[in-house]
């Protein structure tokens, strides 16, 4: 009898829609150390693929507007982003930029106790690479956020 979750998947899986699926898979391998688990192609189109990034499987497919599935505008706003926890934000940031990611924000220590940087992949998806630096209580985070906001920082 089969499980309710496909083997190798978690109970929530991100499904990325891109233009140029093969190039996107190559980017995820070079930028984030991804491992392509499987691909299904038809007529030169990436219908479905799985890439394991930091132990989590993400699916990637080419856009199929006829089915209501479209890739993001690489320069437009995005409704969601992905956080990739790494041991060294600065090294992960450099690797992703060298692989073709566009810089949104450089690595910096944040009020919430993490060091983060934000990137856009060539397909337009937004990635936050992060390393946890210190454990804070919700009250400490709130106090730091209030200080940060009072200093005129933008969200």
Return d(Cα 143, Cα 37) in angstroms, integer: 44
Closest CA to 133 of 100, 109, 106: 109
pLDDT digit string, tens, across residues 104-144: 999 999 999 999 999 999 999 999 999 999 999 999 999 99
Q: pTM for the whole thing? A: 0.89
Q: Given 3-state DSSP classes, what are the helix, strand and coil percentages for the chain, each rounded to the nearest 5? A: 25, 35, 40
21 vs 42, 59, 83, CA distance in Å? 12, 11, 21
Q: Are 108 and 153 in contact (CB under 8 A)?
A: no
Spatial contact of 33 and 84, defined as CB atoms under 8 Å apart: no
User: Regarding predicted confidence, which is higher, 7 or 148?
Assistant: 148
Residue spans of the domains in the chain: they are: 1-71, 73-155
Domain spanning 73-155: CATH superfamily = 2,3-Dihydroxybiphenyl 1,2-Dioxygenase, domain 1 (3.10.180.10)
Q: Is the pLDDT of residue 6 over 80?
A: no
CATH numeric code, 1-71: 3.30.720.120
């Amino acid at each position: 009898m089969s499980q309710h979750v496909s083997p190798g998947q978690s109970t929530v899986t991100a499904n990325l829609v891109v233009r140029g699926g093969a190039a996107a898979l190559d980017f995820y391998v070079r930028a984030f150390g991804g491992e392509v688990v499987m691909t299904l192609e038809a007529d030169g189109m990436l219908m479905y693929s799985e890439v394991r990034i930091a132990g989590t499987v993400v699916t990637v497919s080419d856009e199929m507007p006829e089915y209501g599935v479209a890739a993001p505008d690489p320069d437009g706003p995005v409704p969601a982003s992905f956080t990739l926890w790494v041991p060294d934000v600065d090294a992960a940031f450099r690797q992703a930029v060298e692989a073709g990611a566009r810089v949104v924000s450089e690595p910096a220590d944040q009020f919430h106790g993490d060091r983060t940087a934000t990137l856009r992949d060539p397909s337009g998806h937004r990635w936050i690479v992060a390393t946890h630096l210190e454990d804070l209580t919700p009250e400490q985070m709130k106090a730091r956020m209030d200080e940060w906001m009072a200093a005129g920082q933008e969200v």
